[in-house]
Chain A
Amino acid sequence: MKFHPLAQAVVAVMLLSLPAAAADVGQPAPDFTLKDETGVAHSLGDYRGKVVVLEWTNPECPFVQRHYSEKTMQKTLAAYAGKPVVWLVVDSSYFTTPEKSAAWKKSQGFTPPVLQDPSGTVGHAYAAKTTPEMYVIDTQGVLRYAGAIDDDPRGRSASVNYVRQAVDALQSGRTVPVTSSPPYGCSVKYKGNT
């Protein structure tokens, strides 16, 4: 089948103007249902009406280890005790198991459920690339922040905790001042990358 060059050019232009992929700030966050390390299923939809923080993690990543030993995540979560804020940890490493997550949770002494995503489906839906990588979702299920926990890749002194900034803004009805920051850390160890 021969096609006129003009027709080919039109098709080419159509193909080039494709929408970009990824979970976009300002758009509804992809819904999911995942089991945590105790086998309890969590859906994003369960938490409508609350601010949801998603934390992509991998206990073997030194950046995650640093933030837990410095209690960055624990302190951020503690600031919202008694408030309608839900914190879900997601592990999309192909090697994650409920047992490993439970042991790590115990050793670090933190409470949020660790959702098991060894297939990487939810990680890919959010286009999560690093650990730790953070997402903040508002009470209506709209993604409001995606990126790093803070602006301090080297653990010297963070000048801003982006997640706190975003959750505080949502709690007081303000616009989130910074909606995205370049995440830093290890790459997510997705299935197929061994």
Chain B
Amino acid sequence: MLQQMPLEAISPAVRPHPSFLRFLALLLGAGLPGAAAAASSATGAVQDGVPRLEATLLSGARVLGPGDTFRVGVRLQMAPGWHVYWRNPGEAGMASEVRFSAPGLAFEALAWPALQVLRSPDGSIVTYGYADEVVLFAPAKAVSLSGQRVRLSAVADVLVCAVECIPAVLPLERELAVGTRMVEDVEAKALLDVAAAQVPWPQARAGLTLSLTAPLTLRAGTAFVADVLATGPDNAPVALRALDAFIPDRLPAVSEVTGASVPGQGNHVLLRGKLLPEAPSGPLVLHGLLFLQAPAKHAVEVEVPLGSVVPKTPVAAPGPVLGLGWALLFAFLGGLLLNLMPCVFPVLALKAYGFVHTLQVGGRRTSAHALAYAVGILASMLALACGVLLLRALGHSVGWGFQFQQPLFVAALAALLVAFALNLFGVFRVGPAGTGLLGKVEGAHGAWRSAGEGVLAVVLATPCTAPLLGTAVGFAFAAPPWVVVCVFLLVGVGLALPFCLLVLVPHLSRLLPRPGAWMERGRQLLGFALLGTAVWLGSVLGALAGVDALVRLLGFLLVLGAACWVVGSFQDSRRPRLALGAALLLLLLGGALTLRFEAVHPSASASAWAPDVVAAELRAGRPVFVDFTADWCLTCKFNERTVLSRPTVQQALAATSTRYLVADWTRPDARIAAELASRQRAGVPMYLLFSPYRPESPEVLPELLSESRVVEALHRAASQLSAGLSPATFSGEKTRP
């Protein structure tokens, strides 16, 4: 058909560049010099001189009488391998558009026959459209005829794609006679009837009831998964197509909507999608097509009410909304509030306790201590600001508490806290004999200690966000350097202020409990508070580097405890320095043995999956085992521990020289998702075993593996004959679609 169409008048001598031609096509519609006089059929989407599209205007009636109803349509015929798009083109492309006009005729909305799902060869791009041919039509009615003839016009505005895409705008026209009663155009009517039979049924006609199996929380800015049950008329059983059971229309405020039937439950469809952050509150109804397999194989136009959208959770307002003044105020208030947060509180309690003791001892130098404490806080805030600026300049992404991403830092801090706690328990003292921790407050060392406590307060404060603080720091991180410094310093001022006030305003200090015998118990109690903070740090480290790392940390803390004990035991002996040396040696040895934190790799020998690696290995004659897995997938981990890492399986892999590839879906990966979808899987685990003798049909192993099953399959894959197919018979099969 297409090949017989007359080619457009393109002079070979002055043939323009194809891309220019396509551009011209875009501007001029049909894009062709002779396209002015529209005919009832036209060709377009010309590539290298060959049209890829032919459009024909169809009318179900040749002669019209007053009040007659009939159908008009445009038949789009594409060259093999080319397609046009549905009203929702999917992830690429452009919706087809057909407009009809004629004096005295009224047209209803365009009808769309059921679409085909078109996937790019690698499966990563899914579009909806029509390959080969489609008739898009509209019911028409003769409302006010006059004269002998009616000129029926149509414009087909479509994008025609194979690998490449070519737009085409084709104006079409034909004349219909006006008579007393309608005369059908038999050929056109036959084509229109076929198209009409392919149009999805309205939901009412199919008698389909759709209901959510559980109420949904639809929050703007989040994803949703709705399990929808389909029931036929009079509760008749319904079976949906497995893959692409639901094809969505485009809806504002919703993206990435897909629908697949639930495996083993053909009357359930899982609708997934995302609500954009700006999705308006109120009822959400998904429109689209549901594809039935039974009772009859047809598509149904459906509306699925999913419930009511609630607004996005109000998170801390985005930083730039603040003015600088507000940011500084928030920084100060946030710093104040940090004093109450659980991660800083132990240090402050300790500080307050030390202060009470200072009063007890004499209270002359309290202001000096307060000053030292404030200086400690401000200096470490300044250091932190500089660190942030330096890392930012180096192009790293940093946040409040970024240092806690380093396992070694977390471990060191936990060790410091445990040592501090042991000190409070009285296991050892810091400084010369006879004074102990509390005595130091009096001396020159006391000022250093206060400053050190300030530093500790800041270090511990960073992973804790107080109200308002996140907003202020968020603002700072996107601001020029001097703002970063100002915001950090003001957080420091806020953090230091309550304690300084307590010390410097005499009236306030009277509110503190009187020093007394309770202080010894109080001191020990504070030691437990510090240990609590260390426990929390342990959980941080565990999350960063795994259980292994946590055990290493505990081991180091044990060594640390022993070292402290050694120091404390011999502190009043004649040779305390020797004890200190021994303790340090113990710490060094313990540290060297334990403080090594590495990211855990699940299986070091396995390499990453890629389709071309599979192809290369198969060409080399080796079977390929692909393990589709993810860190968060418990089943995958279970299989890896109990089956795949077992010696029998490892031996079978080696014996069959099977290449073991891992497709890690821990992070989103479009290629893996596409591969899973092409095997009709919603997720991991999936185990594929490719045989070099049957490369097109890998064996899909069950989700729960057993050693014997895997070993058998490996030997089957390595064997040429086990499935009764030789490479020769297989290659014959390969050519079939």
Chain A, residue nearest B97 (CB): A154
Are B166 and A21 in contact, CB atoms less than 8 angstroms apart?
no
A26 to B477, alpha carbons, bound, how many Å?
A: 17
Query: Residue on B with the closest CB to A7?
Result: B704
Q: How many residues of A contact B (CB 8 A)?
A: 63
- A173 near B635 with CB under 8 A, answer no
Give B25's nearest chain A residue, CB to CB.
A62
**A177 to B19 alpha-carbon distance, docked (Å):** 36
Binds A, one of B88-96, B200-208, B579-587, B712-720: B88-96
| The residue from A3, A20, A184 contacting B93, defined by CB atoms under 8 A apart | A184
Known: A49-B478, A124-B669, A178-B278. A129 touches B163 (CB 8 A): no
> Does B125 reach chain A (CB closer than 8 Å)?
yes
Is the CB–CB distance between B276 and A179 below 8 Å?
Answer: yes
Complex contacts, B91 vs chain A, CB 8 Å: 129-130, 183, 187
B19 and A60 contact, CB distance less than 8 A: yes
Whether A127 lies near B670 (C-beta < 8 A) is yes
Closest to A146 in B: B255
Question: Measured between C-beta atoms, what is the minimum distance from B618 to chain A in Å?
Answer: 16
Which among A65, A153, A155 is the interface contact of B22 at CB below 8 angstroms? Answer: A65
Q: Which of A18, A49, A62, A173 has a CB less than 8 Å from the CB of B321?
A: A173
The stretch of A9-17, A74-82, A109-117 in contact with B is A9-17
**What residues on B are CB-neighbors of A63 within 8 Å?**
94, 165
List of A residues within 8 angstroms of B255 by Cβ: 180, 182
Q: Which residue in chain B gives the minimum CB-CB distance to A21?
A: B668
Residue on B nearest A124 in the bound complex, by CB: B670
A185 with B94: in contact, given A21-B673, A45-B396, A173-B318 (CB under 8 Å)?
yes
- What is the 8 Å Cβ interface bit string for chain B, positions 666-710, against chain A (1 contact, 0 not)? 001111010000000011100000000000000000011110000
Which stretch from B116-124, B190-198, B345-353, B490-498 is at the chain A interface?
B116-124
A187 touches B23 (CB 8 A): no
The answer to whether A184 and B89 have CB atoms under 8 Å apart is yes
Out of B395, B673, B704, name the residue touching A3 (CB < 8 Å): B704
The smallest C-beta distance from B212 to any residue of chain A, in angstroms, reads 15
Type the 1/0 row for B538-549, where 1 means its CB is closer than 8 Å to any CB of A.
Answer: 000000000000
Q: Residues of A contacting B26 with CB < 8 Å? A: 62, 65-66, 155
Q: Once the chains bind, are A154 and B94 in contact (CB under 8 Å)? A: yes
Cβ A62 vs Cβ B221 within 8 A: no
Q: Tell yes or no: A97 within 8 A of B by CB.
A: no
**Contact status B704-A25, CB under 8 Å:** no
Interface residues of B in 44-95 (CB under 8 A from A): 89, 91-95
Nearest to B638 among chain A residues (CB) is A11
Interface presence of B572 (CB below 8 A) = no
Contacts of A1 in B (CB 8 A): 704-706
Q: Which of A's residues lie within 8 Å of B, judged by CB?
A: 1, 3, 8, 11-12, 14-22, 24-26, 28, 43, 45-46, 48-49, 59-63, 65-66, 69, 124, 127, 129-130, 138-141, 153-155, 170, 173-175, 177-180, 182-194
Beyond the given pairs A45-B396, A187-B93, 5 more chain A to chain B contacts, judged by CB atoms under 8 angstroms and listed by A's residue number, are A20-B274, A60-B19, A130-B92, A187-B165, A190-B125
